[in-house]
Structure 1
Amino acid sequence: MSLQQRAIRGAILDFVDDPALSGDDAWRYIEDGILWIEDGRVKKTGSYEELSAELPESIELHEYAHHLILPGFIDTHIHYPQTEMIAAYGERLLEWLETYTFPVESKFSDEAYGREIASVFLDELLKNGTTTALVFGTVHPESVDAFFTEAQQRRLRMIAGKVMMDRNAPDFICDEADESYADSKALIERWHGVDRLQYAVTPRFAPTSTDRQLELAGKLLKEYPSVYMHTHLAENVEECAWVAELFPQSKHYLDVYDQAGLLSERSVFAHGIHLCDDACERLSETGSAIAHCPTSNLFLGSGLIELERLAEKGVQVGVGTDVGGGTSFSMFQTLADAYKVQAMRNRKLDPFRALYLATLGGARALDLEGYIGNFEPGCEADFITIDLHATPFLKFRTERCRSLFETLFVLNTLGDDRLIDTTWVMGEIAHRRDS
């Protein structure tokens, strides 16, 4: 059987490490490069001058002038059932959940409805250049079946799970601890490791789970060590105070999860704004990751994350849009807000590190380095082509940039879905702008 090969020519950028640790050695830029794809995976990456002589004469060549080729974005925290309530007005976290989130999520016992929303959600991700995401469902197993069915049809690498929530929420959106365990177990057996799909054990957050439910979540992780754990942590000061009241035996918020056995290299905690040093050190020791959600944090008034402290403590960090608390599926708009969050703290987030967090940083947070996140040989060929002339003004602005640093900062600051010319999944075009 002949191998399916194609070559993508253009300016190529990817990362091999965190710029906060390795500086300019963390990234690779080829002004006129070739991304050589074979059977949906990266075969080679290099300059056009070096590789053009090696390419088979019959290879399919795609040329992208005035474009930048990047690995597909990785969204490390997002809620697909909240797609229809994005931009809901005027509440902080706990009131926002009661007013908007729980009523919307109650609809997802209907699998057909879930597939309708999942289809819109996944198409929106692709439109914005996101090829992998860590995704919340609802308490309904049907919500996960619906999501994975749609993701499988698109050949996407997606991680998702059924929400576990057995208290401190309306009865119509709660489950029971043992029922939640059984439902999660069945979903893991049905979906985890099927094609590019993986399962995440998903307690919503500590206040909405009893000790019994958290204990059973830990049991699932022991029974299925390759699954993920996905929840919220230290997003909001009122939430943190509530956790302290509900769990007086715990040293701090993270310790609630730690005591239940929920920390590992495949554990991702959304937000992590209000953390003590002990919690940061424990995250680092266990290889657990934080999903930084700047757009949501600003929209809900939750707080300003200390990215430099997490880096100093050795905590893995990815970026999440956190739709629908977040107000955009666009990773570019999310990175623009990430810069503003640090600016409000009198800190800076340079554009190289921002794009690292959205690509290889996300892969590391999800324990998927070597599969996605950069263009190392053998990686799955999920990538995007970014049009530097996507709008007349963007063309005007980027043509006046004097360095790659400046160009990337302009993209991170002004960019949105219009920048994404094509989104590729396993070496095939999954989205084309204006098509």
Structure 2
Amino acid sequence: MPGLIDVHLNAAHYPMAGISSTLPLWDWLKSHAWPTEKLYEDDISFADQVFQKVVERSIGNGTTTACYDAGISSKATIRLVHIVEKHGQRAFIGKSSRDVIDGGGYRHLLEDTDEAIESTESVIKEIRSKDCPLVSPLLSPSSLSTVTMEMMSGFARLSEGNTSLRMQIRVAQTENDEETANGIHGNRSETITGLLRGYGLLSDRTILSHGIFLSDDDISLIKEERAGVVHCPTSDMSTYSGVCDLRKFLDAGVKVGLGTDVGSSHSVSLLDSIRSSILASKALSFQKTQDYESLALEEAFMLATLGGSQVLGIDDKVGSFNPGKEFDALLVDVSQEGSRIDVFPHQTAKDAIHKFLLLGDDRNIKEVYVAGQQIKKPT
């Protein structure tokens, strides 16, 4: 089958996977995620250890393309670039940036605004100098609730005229994000997407993660500007953030992909994101009218493959097996000894695919190919 595309993976937060699912988002960020990011700046061997693991796990679970957030350390970000390149995975990689946190006592978790913009530009130049066709740089401001007007203006300057540079930003992940963002960005009483458009940073190169509390007006503007949205259901529920009504985006014709958002979620496997997206949609349907259409498994699989490639703007290259595309693919064995899947003689190939998507794991993924090159081999 086509390779899986993870459009939001926090590489720097991988050490927290499976140990911090009892905290609301902001408590988790302040007590776990952001302090961990500081470790990478002080100890580059820590970055090597973590990033080696997360890339191996990601590939092992069938992710052929990953959109990585490497944390705030520029040195660690470059280490992630080297590791991804060595393993042959297709990737977009960005150095995260934040220079403001609501509430006192968090100065040690922030960056200097000018230095953050300069280091981001340096990372972009370093990635491009390597001339690796599989790895692309990414602008990665954390969110409009954690970056100042000055930082967003700086990123707008980096983006201007740079038609191949994409930006990922977390939006509307909690109910008060819009209010907080407006307070930081001039009390404009704008929607989240309106603020981004005001900076010139809402376009077909914009990747919006989460989007739980985006309004109908936001969704219309996203569609108009041809931006994409990343659904992160496991993370959204693990951090008590909410349940995103994905159907609104799909019905509006917005490009949507899936993300693991590992760290705040427990799993680096997009198979788990597929499952969570279906359960989240079914849970939401209990509050809707009878004609509400919850997410089908086929739709979730599309989001994890072609949908992700559309959000990243690489659907001309990957995401399906259409003639002329590059060969990013998985060889799946549903009869692998020791796996959780049992397929019986009367069941069809479609049944076997459904069983893999709902029961399978890395043991069933025998081989992984990126651009025709095998990057995972049978053990």
TM-score, normalisation: structure 2: 0.91
Q: Do the aligned partners of residues 219 and 410 (structure 1) sit closer, same or farther apart at CA in structure 2, a change above 3 Å counting? A: same
What amino acid is aligned across from residue 99 of structure 1 in structure 2? S
Q: What do the CA deviations read for 1:36-63 (whole angstroms, capped 9, x no partner)?
A: xxxxxxxxxxxxxxxxxxxxxxxxxxxx
Corresponding residue of 1:429: 374
Query: What is the match of residue 120 of structure 1?
Result: 53
Unaligned residue ranges in structure 1 (runs of 5+): 1-69
1:236 equivalenced with 2:236 (yes/no): no
Q: Are the counterparts in 1 of residues 339 and 363 from structure 2 also a CA contact under 8 Å?
A: no
Q: What residue in structure 1 maps to residue 36 of structure 2?
A: 104
The answer on whether the counterparts of 2:334 and 2:360 sit within 8 Å (CA) in structure 1 is no
More divergent stretch after superposition (236-245 vs 225-234) = 236-245
Q: Deviations over 1:310-349 (max 9, x none)?
A: 0122210000000011211111111111110010022422
Identical positions, percent: 24
One-letter identity of the residue aligned with 2:69: F
2:3/2:330 contact within 8 Å kept: yes
Asked if the contact 2:92–2:137 (Cα under 8 Å) also holds between the matched residues in 1, the reply is yes
Measured after TM superposition, the shift of residue 423 of structure 1 is 1.2
Deviations 1:217-248 (A, max 9, x none): 11111142211101101112243443344342
1 or 2, which has the higher strand percentage? 1
Q: Is the 8 A contact 1:272 1:305 kept in 2?
A: yes
2:294 maps to amino acid: K
For the residues of structure 2 that align with 1:399 and 1:222, how far apart are their CA atoms? 58
RMSD: 1.9
Q: CA deviation at 1:275?
A: 1.0
Q: CA deviation at 1:144?
A: 1.3
Report what 1:186 is aligned to: 122
Structure 2 letter corresponding to 1:172: H
Counterpart secondary structure, 2:342: helix
Q: Structure 1 residues 191-200 or 70-79, which shifts more?
A: 191-200
- Is structure 2 residue 17 aligned with structure 1 residue 86? yes
Q: Distance in 1 between the 2:336 and 2:13 partners?
A: 29
- What is the CA deviation profile of residues 286-312 of structure 1, one whole-angstrom value per residue up to 9, with x for unaligned ones? 111110011111211211112221012
Residue 345 of structure 1 aligns with an amino acid whose one-letter code is L
User: Aligned in 2, Cα 1:111/1:332: closer, same or farther, shift over 3 Å?
Assistant: same
Identify the residue that residue 145 of structure 2 maps to in structure 1. Answer: 207
Moved more, 162-171 or 389-398: 389-398
- Please name the residue that 2:200 is paired with: 261
2:211 counterpart of 1:310 = no
Match of residue 36 from structure 1: none
Q: Tell me the TM-score normalized by structure 1.
A: 0.79
What are the residue-to-residue correspondences of 1:344-363 with 2, within 5 Å?
A: 344-346=283-285, 347-363=293-309
Separation in 1, partners of 2:174, 2:90: 30
1:363-413 Cα offsets, whole Å, 9 max, x none, are 001000121111223322221011111356745346553561x44333222
SS in structure 2 opposite 1:255? Answer: helix
C-alpha contact (below 8 Å) 1:294/1:341 kept by paired residues: yes
Structure 1 partner of 2:94: 161
The aligned residue for residue 270 of structure 1 is 209
**What is the number of residues matched between the two proteins?**
364
Output one character per residue of 1:166-200: Cα deviation in whole Å (capped at 9) or x when no partner. 11173333222222221111211111353311111
CA distance in 1, matches of 2:162, 2:48: 27
Give unpaired runs (5+ residues) of structure 2.
286-292
Q: Tell me the alpha carbon deviations over residues 253-311 of structure 1, each in whole angstroms, 9 at most, x when there is no partner.
A: 22222211111112111111111111001111111111001111121121111222101
Structure 1 residue 73 corresponds to structure 2 residue 4:
yes
